[in-house]
A and B are shown apart, each in its own frame.
Chain A
């Protein structure tokens, strides 16, 4: 099999798998801070027990997040060596700062979260829990600054002497609008995941009429925190769409399956069947104006369709070839100012010329047909994006509805009253994970054929190791990860079943429950 395909498969498998654990870590860590805060402020021990119980489940999940995250950090080197060389100067920095500022904090303090209950004061332990949550969230910030740069590579220039991208303005990399929107969208999705987890497990206890004291209190916290977070996800998802429309017009067009440029403001296709052969969307249900409003936030700016974007890519490939030609000649004539000027003029399109490498190694001799093929290759997989996006959004709106209901019931003290609601909460458990994985697909599969949008094609980023090696490691990861998924799920289910009393080692009861008993 082809090494590019294998490397991409391995990255997708390991990233999607890692992302099963990250959102829950992000959300639960903050929920632990909230419940422990209540304990410190009120002094009621039930809130410490609540923190300890969810903390145990957090620990089972956290270990998997750490274990699978290491793979991600090292995989850029093992499987994406040319990528690492080409953009390491820019992309490596946020990853390293993530380690320095965030991962160190969360990993060093997490041990005290579990082992420090007896050794620390109440406030001291709360500080530790808050440190873990802060570390996880900062970690997400730096990872998304790195990822945001892959979507929108600002603040960097190509250096022909070193044959790579180098930082020109780090503040621009840091305050990349794509990264900021993605950060809030992603961590809020994590908060939703944590809230749904707490809501669903608590609902299960209420359905079984066990651990009511813990379940009702946990649900109240999850309902309000979840509602705020779910709304945040939607708003920042919209912001992500807007930022993508600045430099990832193809991604937007593919998500919408919009083949032709419509007169502004474009309509939004709620649902339909994208037809790749005739390049149109059948049975489309459209809302007029909406797409234009979401992506351009105006009534007069156009949203370009796929066909026009392919034409633009064609032009950019031709300009990129001029830069590529100058770059090749510069290697034997390093001081030549004319060649340097020629490169500088078209360096922004150099990445487009590199798209041709998939079709022939000697791209300076590319034919008209090669260029046309390369331009066509800038279209990502339209049906997958179209459906992933819609399914993700549907999950998001459902969860807003669920939390709004939960919030209303908790405000009116009816959380335990309606079995249909509790059953809906339990049934919604997988949805935040589904939405998060689909979100990854939309963002990263939708970035194809680029690994760095407009700068480096994915197919060039791979290592020069043998395909057999990658096949071997891919099979290894699939095998190990499947085994570990079984162990993780088994422990989670086991501890949910055991319930808080046995997990903590003593019965959990609130003050009022004690009075009733």
Chain B
């Protein structure tokens, strides 16, 4: 297998991991962000938390695995994005540290202040990462200021405030609306009673917000300059991001879709997924599939537009990280692909089994008598 093909496969795998994270942990985050609205008393809050209780831990591993896969397959991207977005990453980490405990520790004590503290923690640690992931994606389209010295030491002028520009903030809202919609369809599948009623009522509002925000960011994207590689193609040479030339071009981010019109199916699917969620809101499983499709297709839309860029540099465009110059060695990509081919089917199999065992809505009697429940 050629180095070029391996790099494209690993780009696709990175996308698949992000999509798997958004589709599974996305409803955990979304349910958390919906907690104050859908659940009004202790029983209802426990009902929401227990819908994700048995599965959130496995869902979150998609994120951890995403980090590991970037480290192994795209070490330059791992080094640049994680250290460049330092404080944003710290905020995400803080959320990921507190969220597990807000699920597991909350109902271990009956004290109302203890429970209320963890409920707010659960809510905040659902909202903050959902926003930050979107803001990070938005920044990819604008590029961030960074470069490398001759020994490939990364340096950047990125600050937390410089990431909070209008377009990325809009992307953050797209992400929040998308994951909250996904949370709402999940809860309408997995609960009963008043929680379901409220979750169903939220679906059209959230899907509507997602549709509007998604379309606005699409139009905004037309006005943005995109990054384009101008040096001759070198897709199978050693990974060194300093050996190419890159320029900014009006409508550069639409170039891939111009070359391959089938790529327009991705944004189309994102929009129709959200529409489907609205139309099918009384058939919860269909609505859930609709919001899952919206999550997957939104990430695919961004990925298709950015390809082959992974992290464009606004201050030194030539140092931008791309699929062709930020990967691991060919051997490492091969070994890791082998590991993925062996273990990914296994993961999907036992994950599906766990969801099957835990199928059906969560009702108050499921957890009120069980000291092990959350």
Contacts and interface: CB of A to CB of B under 8 A. Distances in A.
A60 B57 CA distance: 14
B57 A111 contact: yes
B12 interface: no
Contacts of B371: 56, 502-505
Nearest to B99: A67
Given A93-B335, A100-B68, A472-B90, 8 more contacts: A55-B372, A67-B97, A117-B372, A162-B240, A463-B86, A476-B94, A480-B97, A487-B105
Contact of B372 (A114, A464, A484): A114
7 contacts: A70-B93, A77-B82, A84-B82, A103-B65, A111-B54, A167-B329, A465-B86
Contacts of B61: 99, 103-104, 107-108
B104 A464 contact: no
A88 B67 CA distance: 12
Interface in B322-374: 328-329, 331-332, 335-336, 339-340, 343-344, 347, 350-351, 354, 357-358, 369-373
Interface in A458-479: 463-465, 469, 472-473, 476
A85 B90 contact: no
Given A63-B104, A74-B82, A77-B79, A162 B238 contact: yes
Contacts of A120: 357
Interface string B136-167: 00000000000000111111100000000000
Interface string A225-258: 0000000000000000000000000000000000
B57 A92 contact: no
Nearest to B154: A81
Interface of B: 53-58, 60-61, 64-65, 67-73, 75-76, 78-84, 86-87, 89-90, 93-94, 96-101, 103-105, 108-109, 150-156, 238-240, 328-329, 331-332, 335-336, 339-340, 343-344, 347, 350-351, 354, 357-358, 369-373
B251 to A, nearest CB: 32
B101 A107 contact: no
Contacts of B98: 67, 480
Contact of B343 (A64, A74, A100, A504): A100
A73 B68 contact: yes
A115 B372 contact: yes
Contact of A473 (B90, B103, B150, B340): B90
Contacts of A115: 53-54, 358, 372-373
Interface residues of A, number: 78
A185 B311 CA distance: 41
Per DSSP, are chain B's interface residues mostly helix, strand or loop, or mixed? helix
Contacts of B239: 162
Contact of A491 (B53, B108, B156): B108
A476 B90 contact: yes
A171 to B, nearest CB: 10
Contacts of B240: 161-163
A489 B332 CA distance: 42
A481 to B, nearest CB: 8
Q: Which 8 A-B pairs have the closest CB atoms?
A: A88-B75, A77-B82, A108-B58, A111-B54, A92-B72, A92-B71, A463-B83, A96-B68
Contacts of B86: 78, 463, 465, 469, 473
A331 interface: yes
Contacts of A105: 347, 350
A4 interface: no
A170 B331 contact: yes
Contacts of B81: 77
B151 to A, nearest CB: 6
Interface in A90-136: 90-93, 95-101, 103-105, 107-112, 114-117, 119-120, 131
A438 to B, nearest CB: 25
A388 B27 CA distance: 46
Contacts of A472: 87, 90
Contact of B109 (A85, A494, A502): A494
Interface in A54-75: 55-56, 59-60, 63-64, 66-68, 70-71, 73-74
A119 B351 CA distance: 16
Contact of A66 (B100, B153, B238): B100
Nearest to B241: A162
Contacts of B103: 63
Contact of A88 (B79, B83, B358): B79
A76 interface: yes
Nearest to B55: A111
B328 A103 contact: no
Most chain A beta-carbon contacts within 10 A, residue among B60, B65, B70: B65
A63 B238 contact: no
A68 B100 CA distance: 10
A143 to B, nearest CB: 11
Contacts of A103: 61, 64-65
B83 A77 contact: yes
A503 B109 CA distance: 11
Contacts of B238: 159, 161-162
Contacts of B328: 88-89, 92-93, 166
A365 B156 CA distance: 28
Contact of B64 (A73, A77, A114, A131): A73
A82 B153 contact: yes
Contact of B78 (A63, A77, A161, A465): A77
A52 interface: yes
A107 B351 CA distance: 10
A77 B82 CA distance: 5
Nearest to A117: B372
A88 B71 contact: yes
A164 interface: yes
Given A108-B354, A115-B373, A85 B152 contact: yes
Contacts of B351: 108
A79 interface: yes
Interface in A152-178: 159, 161-164, 166-168, 170
Contacts of B80: 81
Contacts of A93: 72, 328, 332, 335-336, 339
B335 A63 contact: no
B79 A81 contact: yes
B104 A59 contact: yes
B305 to A, nearest CB: 24
A503 B98 CA distance: 24
A214 B152 CA distance: 59
B43 to A, nearest CB: 18
B288 to A, nearest CB: 19
Most chain A beta-carbon contacts within 10 A, residue among B57, B238, B354: B57
Contacts of A55: 372
